[in-house]
């Protein structure tokens, strides 16, 4: 998201579409958030990739504890789109659930 470390990877090679939500639970992993399966809604930002090679760059930047998957995202205007998201699959011992699903 804007204002966080990995946004620099997106900034030059992607176009912001807007804010959106996806089904799941958001965890605070102390230095960054992690999306896991759940029944709540998680808030985030949606981008259109201008460079198809950016997916491989994002995969490396996210690291081995995150897995890229397709999901249905609901945009702020109510439209639903298919998008790539990263789900957290690492250790959760120190994770704290974020009840409202918004890391900001």
> What residues act catalytically?
62
Asked whether 3 and 32 are in contact (CB, 8 A), the reply is: no
Which of helix, strand or coil describes residue 91?
A: coil
Burial bucket for residue 33 (CB in 10 Å: 0-12, 13-18, 19+): buried
List, as one string, the DSSP characters of 41-83.
Answer: EEEEEEEEESSTTHHHHHHHHH-TTEEEEEEEEEETTS-EEEE
């Amino acid at each position: 998201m804007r204002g966080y470390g990995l946004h620099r990877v997106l900034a030059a090679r992607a176009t912001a579409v807007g804010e959106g939500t996806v089904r799941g639970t958001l965890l605070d992993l102390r230095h960054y958030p992690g999306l896991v399966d759940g029944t709540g809604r998680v808030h985030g930002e949606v981008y259109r990739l201008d460079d198809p090679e950016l997916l491989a760059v994002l995969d490396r930047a996210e690291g081995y504890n995150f897995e890229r998957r397709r999901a249905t995202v609901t945009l702020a205007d109510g439209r639903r789109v298919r998008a790539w998201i990263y789900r957290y699959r690492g250790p959760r011992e120190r994770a704290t659930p974020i009840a409202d699903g918004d890391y900001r």
